[in-house]
């Protein structure tokens, strides 16, 4: 008989983006946390930024669930592990409930997780009930956790919505309209949690608005995953990872995987540090280098340290913003200059979606690794392409190689192929 782990669990979905899923999920997680419950939050899809908000709510790392990029086996392992060590699992959906292939509805149905709907009720009343009913009726197999009305104007407004709901659509609560709780946005989504000075106070205030007596989600039984053997390909290696306001798009699962491969992790700041930590390899993940060009181009000590590491033959992985910062110029301004090429941030989106990149050096069809791209940048270079991402609509992002540097707009999800991930950090 297959073993299982049980935990209260719920997936927070919505009709579309902009309904308030992130703040509502963070508020609910904080409310449960304030009651002394152990809470683990997840984010559907490949998003980094929403997870940072959720991390503030509970004070521990957030993981991604994505059947396309990460895979079903990875999701099963993460959920089973979380259920073993927590009282409540909350999963924030992505976009609308059924958006994307696969969607967050697919995750809910695959693992038997009840779905809660967060719906912006501003400027409507009974129609709220029709939207909720329609979302659930579209796929009857989904379990109905209930609805949370967001942006409600008054107690009377809430009562109208609640009274209109069908008997089989539970009422979970209400978030009243408060402009102080809204989260600022920019071209890649919400502002980073570290950029919002009062983010913790906003989450706490939202938790109080939602109420401390919110019912617990239903109990879900998660099956144990198949045993996964990870060869210690990076045993004894130290990998230094860039981590600051300019380089912050890092999946916690990637860091965990590097440690399971045997690596020791060190962090450094290309913005603020004057030297690199001693390491066998370096990783500059994505982020917002375009917002910090002045600091980057004037950190001459870091410039010299990165060049010295490259000249010493240290492997370097540069993803998206990391690649832009290692080019010769970014928006016409000089940056670190390790890669021959120039980058410009464009007014329109240049890349979006899940892709899989296959590396011929691994020798067979097991050389593919899951990844995601979401950027406004354009990188002009003559560098050789060693791999090409492939998405739903054909060819995707290029993966470049320059001496010991691997660079791409792709954000790789290491657990989807530990062997390929290890190769990024080996000579």
Instruction: Catalogue all structural domains in the chain, each as residue range(s) with its CATH number.
Output: 4-223 (3.40.50.300), 238-423 (3.40.50.880)
Q: What CA–CA distance (Å, rounded) separates 401 from 405?
A: 6
What string of pLDDT tens digits covers the 427 residues of the chain?
A: 579 999 999 999 999 999 999 999 999 999 999 999 999 999 999 988 888 899 999 999 999 999 999 999 999 999 999 999 999 999 999 999 999 999 999 999 999 999 999 999 999 999 999 999 999 999 999 999 999 999 998 999 999 999 999 999 999 989 888 766 666 665 555 566 566 678 888 899 888 888 777 889 999 999 999 988 999 999 999 999 999 999 999 999 999 999 999 999 999 999 999 999 999 999 999 999 999 999 999 999 999 999 999 999 999 999 999 999 999 999 999 999 999 999 999 999 898 899 999 986 544 556 899 999 999 999 999 999 999 999 887 788 999 999 999 999 999 999 999 999 999 999 9
Q: Any idea which residue has 């939050």 for tokens? A: 41
Q: For residue 121, what are its two tokens?
A: 């009720």
Q: What CA–CA distance (Å, rounded) separates 370 from 396?
A: 12
Say what the pLDDT of residue 189 is. 55
Say what the pLDDT of residue 362 is. 47
Selected catalytic residue, list 7, 44, 248, 320: 320
Q: Is 320 among the catalytic positions?
A: yes
Q: Helix/strand/coil (H, E, C) string of the chain?
A: CCCEEEEEEEEEECCCCCCCHHHHHHHHHHHHHHCCCCEEEEEECCCCHHHHHHHHHHCCCCEEECCCCCCHHHHHHHHHHHHHHCCEEEEECCCCCCCCCCCHHHHHHHHCCCEEEEEECCCCCCHHHHHHHHHHHHCCCCCEEEEEEEEECCHHHHHHHHHHCCCCCCEEEEEECCHHHCCCEECCEECCHHHCCCHHHHHHHHHHHHCCCCCCCCEEEEECCCCCCCCCCCCCCEEEEECCCCEEECCHHHHHHHHHCCCEEEEECCCCCCCCCCCCEEEECEECHHHCHHHHHHCHHHHHHHHHHHHCCCCEEEECHHHHHHCCEECCEECCCCCCCEEEECCCCCEEEEEEEECHHHCCHHHEEEEEEEECEEEECCCCEEEEEEECCEEEEEEEEECCEEEECCEECHHHCHHHHHHCCCC
Q: What CA–CA distance (Å, rounded) separates 335 from 322?
A: 11
Contact criterion met (CB below 8 Å) for 172 and 148 = yes
Closest by alpha carbon to 116, among 189, 181, 49, 21?
21
Q: Any idea which residue has 């010295």 for tokens? A: 308
Contact criterion met (CB below 8 Å) for 151 and 20 = yes
The count of other CB atoms within 10 Å of the CB of residue 171 is: 16
Q: Any idea which residue has 């152990």 for tokens? A: 38
Say what the pLDDT of residue 361 is. 54
Q: Any idea which residue has 């590491």 for tokens? A: 309
Say what the pLDDT of residue 194 is. 67
């Amino acid at each position: 008989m297959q073993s299982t782990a049980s935990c209260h669990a719920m997936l927070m979905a919505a009709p579309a983006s902009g309904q308030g899923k992130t703040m509502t999920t963070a508020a609910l997680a904080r409310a449960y946390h304030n009651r002394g419950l152990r809470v683990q939050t997840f984010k559907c899809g490949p998003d980094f930024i929403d997870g940072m908000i959720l991390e503030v709510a509970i004070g521990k790392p957030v993981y991604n669930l994505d059947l396309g990029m990460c895979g079903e086996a990875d999701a099963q392992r993460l959920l089973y592990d979380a259920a073993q060590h927590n009282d409540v699992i909350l999963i924030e959906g992505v976009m609308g409930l059924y958006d994307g292939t696969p969607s967050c509805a697919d995750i809910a149905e695959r693992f038997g997780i009840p779905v809660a709907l967060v719906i912006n009720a501003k400027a409507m009343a009974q129609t709220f009930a029709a939207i909720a009913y329609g979302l659930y009726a579209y796929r009857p197999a989904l379990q109905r956790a209930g609805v949370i009305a967001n942006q409600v104007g008054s107690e009377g407004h809430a009562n109208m919505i609640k009274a209109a709901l069908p008997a089989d659509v539970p009422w979970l609560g209400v978030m009243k309209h408060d402009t102080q709780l809204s989260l600022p946005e920019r071209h890649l989504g919400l502002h980073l949690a570290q950029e919002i000075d009062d983010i913790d106070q906003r989450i706490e205030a939202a938790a109080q608005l939602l109420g401390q007596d919110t019912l617990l989600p239903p109990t879900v039984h998660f099956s144990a995953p198949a045993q996964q053997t990870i060869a210690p390909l990076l045993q004894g290696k130290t990998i230094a990872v860039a981590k600051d306001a300019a380089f912050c798009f890092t999946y916690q699962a990637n860091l965990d995987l590097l440690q399971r491969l045997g690596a020791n992790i060190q962090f450094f700041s290309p913005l603020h540090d004057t030297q690199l930590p001693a390491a066998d390899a370096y990783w500059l993940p994505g982020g917002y280098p375009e917002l910090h060009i002045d600091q980057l181009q004037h950190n001459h000590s870091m410039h010299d340290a990165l060049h010295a590491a490259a000249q010493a033959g240290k492997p370097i992985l540069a993803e998206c913003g990391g690649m832009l910062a290692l080019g010769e110029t970014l928006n016409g301004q000089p940056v670190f200059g390790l890669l021959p090429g120039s980058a410009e941030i464009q007014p329109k989106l240049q890349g979006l979606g899940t892709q899989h990149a296959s590396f011929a050096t691994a020798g067979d069809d097991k050389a593919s690794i899951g990844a995601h791209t979401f950027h406004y940048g354009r990188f002009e270079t003559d560098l050789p392409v060693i791999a090409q991402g492939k998405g739903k609509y054909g060819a995707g992002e290029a993966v470049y190689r320059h001496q010991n540097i691997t660079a791409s707009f792709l954000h790789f999800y290491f657990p989807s192929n530990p062997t390929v991930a290890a190769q990024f950090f080996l000579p």
